[in-house]
């Protein structure tokens, strides 16, 4: 709901449990007033919010005290700060005029409110689409291009004008009432007769007093160690979280949250910002001399310089804001619901994905039609539904060198051609998926030989290779068109059901031979726009195609890519222990249904650690679930467990797709065990995923407190006892756990929700290292004594 008191000059945006408010000072300056718990306000109450602008204190507004204008501009909590005029906080917008001059002051000009949410041209962002029902097609949901509002979604646009009126800056606020999210983006229009250069155009700033001594949360990492949660105290000065790698990166995540010091999973206040963008970004938080906090986020100015000719418009990507009084789980709940309902699109979002087998860790580059067909037959036998042929199927590729860009099947590996291979796979009753790395080109490729000018490079530097490859110039529309056509041709030829879109190096040499000199600084952002264009083309041309994004593991896991693909490969590290902190960070922001998760072989190639298949299978249940190992070399008794693993995954899939996620314990924090829980929206079903890491002699059983259940309802608790038996069969390390069968003796023991949540449930401690367990909960009786079956 959007509430406006024009006389008082105050606007309040309300979601179910939050309020975001702004005010106009001195008739012209737009300031931030409040973001936090929902305020219930009469029109008259709105005026009281103006207090936070401190207009009664010195320095007075410029109309009263023009002599202290720069002091006012420095103290005022600008909603969209600009550089060069006296505000010494982080600016969102900086310009250079044709005369080479800087400095910009923006004044309030007006506003519009509309129902629903208009898409940002060429960019991902929150849409107002209604929940897709299972079986409903993408077209029914989206009604072509219409992003109508079946839910309570509204948009507020506020116009700010530069002095002289040459630049119109429109602040766009999406109000997603049910999801408790406010989105922010900015449109900049040059209405003058002269060119203006934007040297930074961030998407948002937020100002607040720091009486609460807020701490900041970000995520760090590396290849195979993505999205580790980092929390730091804030002191005077600034803290930056950024990527200049051309993607969100293994090392960073376009996310920043401010939390009160006492914040835990369930308590404390959290203000979070997540960027729906997949390229270079900057997020920065600073504490000023008044202990006011300012946070900004947007396209990284370090690789951004945009020429805005007369009449041209520039749109920034969107930042997603949420605020919770219920700790980190509250933030997670808002972000998951928002992502599921307002970011993800297409026919797969609410559908169970086919269980796949991927050839990468099964065979690496050593693939051929014969070997893949053998793998497919074995896969079919155990209930797998899709074969994904990973890297190595095209050109003359046999190692990580050469052929990128030549997207036709390697004739030696596929002597009968791709179409015939695809027919054979489909004839087995399997779906077929193929790996591509569309953004890349090898020096040794027909594409490079035909178009040496199609790669990113600057005139004065020999471009750097990464994984022996160059990056195509997606800022060039011819390259974008070529990619659309090349992908369409293979998808059509092989009737593909799935694509894994990989990207295996960070981007360097942001120079485009297509763009004129004054526009070279646009290359990095235009690259991302080109990437989105190709993926939008795929989504629209092949509505049933399941697209999975990937970047050398999980280096491009962001809301931007999720707008195009309902799942992203999470990490090249499939070791279940290594995955614990990766999943913790990833699922803190994104729902488990979008997290690519496979079961690899027992001795993990990345971690060099050996674990049991059941532990890996349980871990993969917290994501899209698939296999990535050579079934032929898998011991018989392990292969025979696959149908049961798939059945368990299927049972859990509805919870993974739509359930509320709770983090019960963090291995990253306690260094002992990890626990996450999923609860259905109606509270009738739940699953608890428990992973013990190292054996702990002399430790008593664990008293586990669950979350999200109905206090008075009666739940039957099962554990996946049958698969535990397999641990014994495997005999790895002489596992004893499970022989005492605590729940086995009382299968389906009944507990009240309140007991499970407040008194806790006793979990026997396993002996030895690495054990996992999934508890299943069904509501047998609700609080009125009505039976559920």
Q: List active site positions.
A: 502, 572
CB contact at 8 A, 574 and 602: no
CB contact at 8 A, 770 and 615: yes
Q: What's the token pair of residue 228?
A: 């580790």
Distance CA 654, CA 146 (A): 28
Whole-number Cα distances in Å, 279 to 163, 348, 510, 512, 518: 32, 25, 12, 16, 21
Looking at the DSSP bridge assignments, the partners of residue 752 are 714
Closer residue to ligand DGJ, CB minimum distance, 607 or 725: 607
Distance CA 512, CA 219 (A): 31
Closer residue to ligand DGJ, CB minimum distance, 318 or 391: 391
Looking at the DSSP bridge assignments, the partners of residue 443 are none
Sequence-ordered list of residues with C-beta below 8 angstroms from that of 427, at least 6 positions apart, any chain? none
Closer residue to ligand DGJ, CB minimum distance, 361 or 473: 361
Closer residue to ligand DGJ, CB minimum distance, 268 or 596: 596
CB contact at 8 A, 166 and 147: no
Going by C-alpha positions, the residue among 46, 52, 47, 51 that lies closest to residue 19 is 46
Going by C-alpha positions, the residue among 703, 718, 717 that lies closest to residue 764 is 703
DSSP assignment, residue 207? E
Sequence-ordered list of residues with C-beta below 8 angstroms from that of 546, at least 6 positions apart, any chain? 348, 353, 354, 433, 497, 498, 499, 566, 567
Whole-number Cα distances in Å, 708 to 350, 711, 753: 22, 9, 9
Shortest spacing between CB 525 and ligand DGJ, in angstroms: 25
Shortest spacing between CB 69 and ligand DGJ, in angstroms: 54
The distance from CA 84 to its chain's CA centroid, rounded to whole angstroms, is 34
Q: What's the token pair of residue 121?
A: 């041209």
By beta carbon distance, the residue nearest ligand DGJ is: 391
Closer residue to ligand DGJ, CB minimum distance, 287 or 547: 547
Closer residue to ligand DGJ, CB minimum distance, 435 or 661: 435
Shortest spacing between CB 569 and ligand DGJ, in angstroms: 5
Question: What are the residues binding ligand DGJ (CB under 6 A)?
Answer: 360, 390-391, 435, 502, 504, 550, 552-553, 569, 572
Going by C-alpha positions, the residue among 404, 378, 379 that lies closest to residue 391 is 404
Shortest spacing between CB 507 and ligand DGJ, in angstroms: 16
Rg from Cα positions in the chain: 27
Closer residue to ligand DGJ, CB minimum distance, 436 or 563: 436
SS3 content of the chain, % helix, strand, coil (to 5): 25, 30, 45
What's phi and psi for 317, nearest 5 deg?
-65, 175
Closer residue to ligand DGJ, CB minimum distance, 111 or 569: 569
Q: Using CA atoms in the order 464, 466, 469, 474, what is the torsion angle rounded to 10 degrees? A: -80
């Amino acid at each position: 709901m959007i509430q406006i008191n024009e006389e008082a000059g105050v606007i309040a945006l309300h979601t179910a449990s939050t309020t975001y408010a702004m005010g106009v000072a001195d008739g012209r300056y737009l300031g931030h007033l409040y973001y936090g718990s929902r305020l219930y306000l009469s029109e008259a109450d709105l005026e009281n919010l103006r207090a936070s602008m401190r207009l009664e204190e010195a320095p007075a507004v410029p109309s009263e005290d023009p002599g202290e204008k720069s002091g006012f501009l420095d103290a005022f909590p600008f909603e969209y700060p600009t550089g060069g005029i006296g505000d010494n906080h982080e600016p969102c917008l900086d310009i250079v005029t044709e005369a080479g001059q800087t400095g910009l002051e923006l004044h309030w000009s007006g506003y519009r409110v509309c129902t629903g949410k208009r898409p940002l041209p060429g960019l991902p962002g929150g849409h107002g689409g209604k929940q897709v029902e299972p079986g409903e097609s993408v077209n029914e949901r989206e009604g072509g291009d219409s992003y109508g509002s079946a839910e309570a979604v509204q948009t507020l646009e506020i116009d700010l004008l530069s002095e002289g009126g040459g630049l119109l800056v429109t602040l766009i606020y999406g109000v997603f009432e049910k999801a408790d999210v406010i989105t922010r983006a900015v449109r900049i229009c040059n209405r003058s007769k002269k060119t203006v250069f934007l040297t930074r155009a961030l998407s948002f700033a937020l100002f607040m007093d720091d009486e609460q001594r807020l701490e900041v949360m970000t995520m760090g990492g590396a290849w195979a160690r993505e999205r580790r949660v980092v929390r730091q105290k804030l002191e005077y000065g600034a803290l930056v979280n950024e990527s200049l790698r051309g993607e969100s990166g293994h090392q960073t995540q376009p996310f920043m949250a401010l939390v009160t010091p006492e914040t835990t999973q369930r308590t404390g206040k959290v203000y979070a910002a997540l960027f729906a963008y997949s390229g270079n970004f900057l997020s920065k938080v600073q504490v000023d001399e008044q202990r006011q906090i300012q946070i900004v986020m947007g396209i990284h100015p370090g690789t951004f310089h945009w020429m805005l000719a007369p009449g041209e418009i520039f749109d920034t990507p969107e930042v997603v804001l949420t605020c919770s009084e219920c700790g980190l789980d509250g933030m997670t709940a808002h972000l998951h619901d928002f992502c599921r309902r307002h970011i993800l699109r297409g026919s797969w979002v609410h559908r169970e994905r086919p269980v796949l087998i991927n050839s990468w860790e099964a065979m690496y580059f050593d693939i051929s039609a014969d070997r893949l067909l053998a793998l497919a037959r074995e896969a079919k036998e155990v209930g797998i539904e899709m074969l994904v042929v990973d890297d190595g199927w095209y050109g003359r590729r046999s190692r990580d060198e050469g052929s990128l860009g030549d997207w036709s099947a390697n004739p030696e590996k596929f002597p009968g051609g791709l179409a015939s291979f695809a027919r054979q796979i489909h004839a087995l009753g399997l779906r077929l998926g193929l790996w591509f790395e569309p953004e890349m080109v090898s020096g040794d490729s027909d594409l490079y030989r035909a178009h040496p000018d199609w790669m990113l490079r600057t005139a004065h530097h020999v471009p750097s290779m990464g994984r022996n490859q160059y990056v195509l110039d997606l800022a060039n529309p011819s390259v974008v068109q070529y990619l659309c056509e090349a992908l369409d041709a293979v998808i059509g030829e092989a009737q593909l059901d799935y694509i894994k879109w990989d990207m295996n190096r960070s981007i360097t040499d942001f120079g485009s031979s297509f763009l004129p000199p004054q526009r070279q600084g646009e290359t990095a952002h235009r690259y991302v726009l080109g990437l989105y264009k190709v993926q939008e083309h795929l989504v629209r041309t092949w509505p049933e195609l399941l697209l999975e994004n990937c970047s050398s593991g999980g280096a491009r896991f962001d809301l931007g890519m999720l707008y195009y693909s309902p799942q992203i490969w999470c990490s090249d590290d499939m070791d279940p222990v290594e995955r614990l902190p990766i999943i913790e960070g990833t699922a803190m922001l994104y729902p488990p249904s979008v997290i690519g998760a496979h079961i690899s072989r027992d001795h993990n190639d990345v971690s060099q650690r050996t674990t049991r298949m059941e532990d890996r299978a349980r871990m993969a249940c917290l994501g899209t679930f698939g296999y990535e190992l050579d079934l032929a070399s898998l011991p018989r008794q392990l292969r025979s467990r696959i149908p049961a693993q798939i059945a368990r995954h299927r049972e859990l899939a509805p919870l993974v797709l739509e359930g509320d996620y709770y983090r019960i314990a963090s291995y990253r924090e306690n260094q002992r065990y990890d626990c996450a829980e999923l609860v259905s929206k109606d509270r009738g079903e739940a699953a608890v995923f428990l992973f013990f890491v190292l054996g702990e002699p002399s430790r008593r059983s664990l008293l586990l407190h669950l979350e999200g259940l109905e206090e008075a309802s009666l739940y039957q608790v099962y554990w996946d006892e049958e698969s535990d038996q397999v641990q014994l069969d495997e005999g790895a390390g002489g596992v004893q756990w499970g022989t005492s069968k605590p729940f086995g003796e009382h299968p389906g023991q009944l507990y009240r929700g309140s007991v499970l949540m407040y008194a806790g449930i006793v979990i026997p401690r396993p002996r030895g290292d690495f054990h996992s367990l999934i508890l299943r909960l069904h509501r047998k009786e609700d609080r009125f004594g009505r039976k559920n079956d």
